[in-house]
Each structure stands twice: as C-alpha cells, then as structure tokens.
Amino acid sequence: MDKKGLGIATSIFIKVGKEEHLKKFQNEGMLHCETLDYFANIEDGIRRGDKMEIATQFFNNGNHILTIFNEIDSSKNIKIKVEKAHFLEQKQTINLFCLYAVNILNYEENTPFMLEQRFNEKEWGTHFIIITQPQTFIERVKTVLSQMKLGMISNFVKYIDLANYAGLNNGFIKDEVYSYQKEFRIRIENYELKCLDIFAGNLVDITSPIYSLDIFKTLKMCYKTI
C-alpha cells in the first residue's frame, strides 16, 4: 500500500490504450470490460496477464516434505516436496475495467515526479487519457450499470506477497510484482461469462485530451495546494 494512503479524492486515473478506443471512451463513455478468464489466460509476463485473477482462495501451508515409508527397507523411503502455496480457482462471471491511479499525496508538493515507465506501446496501447474527476466518473458508471441491473464494486488494488498469503481473494489483491501498475479497478458482476461493453455517456468534461504514449515516458507532474 502507498505509504500515505490511498483515496479517490486525491487521485487521478489514467487509461492507456489504442487511440481509436480512447476516443470512444471519451466521446461515448465506452468501457470495454474483459472477463477474469481473459486476463488469466494472457501470457505476457507481468503485464496485463495474471493467472491468479481466477483464484477465489489462496492456501499456504509452509514448506513440507511428505515421506512414504518402506517398512522392509528404509533406504527405499520416498520423499516428496509439497508446494507451500497453491490456489483454488473457479469460473466467475466477473468483468474488469482497469485504470492506472496516481495519488498525489504519495508525492512531495511542488516537486515534479514521473509516471511509471514500464508501460509500452506493444502491450498497453499507443495513447493515454487522464480522468480528472474520478469520483464523478465512478458515479456515472455506477448509474449506467444500475440501469443494466448489474452490480459493481470499485477499489484500489492491494499488492501483497501471494506466495506467503493464505485467505480469500476479494478481487482486489494481486501479487506485489504487479505493484508498478498502481491499479484502480471496477469489478462488474455479470450474468454471463463474456466480454461486456458499457456506455457511460460523453466524458469530455472530466477527461484530458488524448496524448501519445511517447510523451508518457518523459511526462512529469507536479501539484501544489491553492
């Protein structure tokens, strides 16, 4: 967790993607929401894919050696190493919409800071857009989903060492190797296991212009109290 805490009121959201998709997002409020299975099956290292997305519970029993004894000849005993961590998976009709969150309170006032540099065009897209009023954005999405009779939960992702974690997956935990993503996610309870597109209406009033991802790599931000 960020050392100064997390909060929507002191954050901005950033969406990285292809330019044509971000134009639809800005002009129509189109949110393209993939399934948990989709993200679990992407094999791209520690980028968009994460097989743990479909985990419902994590188990951690420590390192163990299972011994099968041979009563006649102990030299023939068999020893098996038991994996210390594993998880239970289950098909879930859940869709995700993921954003990169920047909480300004995690940075010093009047001191320029750079954004995460591990986003690249091949895996993430070619452009990005900033959501300047996250709370308003979330309320608009919630209103549309309510009209569609779909439930949603939204929150910041907490990054932990899953190899040493045991417990339920609430949908907002990921392994610490993904912590650079600083993710805020909208988790939608769907009726079917399929991709979902929703339209929250024009978002021009709460978003920045669409920028090329090229400047993301050198972009600096700075905030001050007014």
* pLDDT beyond 50 at 4: no
pLDDT at residue 170, rounded to an integer: 87
Confidence of residue 153 (pLDDT cuts 50, 70, 90): very high
From the list 115, 101, 118, the residue with the least C-alpha distance to 154 is 101
Whether residue 65 is predicted with pLDDT greater than 60 in this model: the reply is no
- DSSP letters along 150-172, please? -EEEEEEPEEE-GGG--EE--SS
Looking at residues 157-183, what average pLDDT do you find? 88
Nearest to 13 by CA among 115, 133, 176, 141: 133
Answer with the residue of higher pLDDT: 151 or 71: 151
Q: Which residue has the higher pLDDT, 33 or 85?
A: 33
Q: Over 70: is that where the pLDDT of 50 sits? A: yes
Residues sharing a CB contact under 8 Å with residue 122, sequence separation 6 or more, in sequence order: none
Per-residue pLDDT at 125: 86
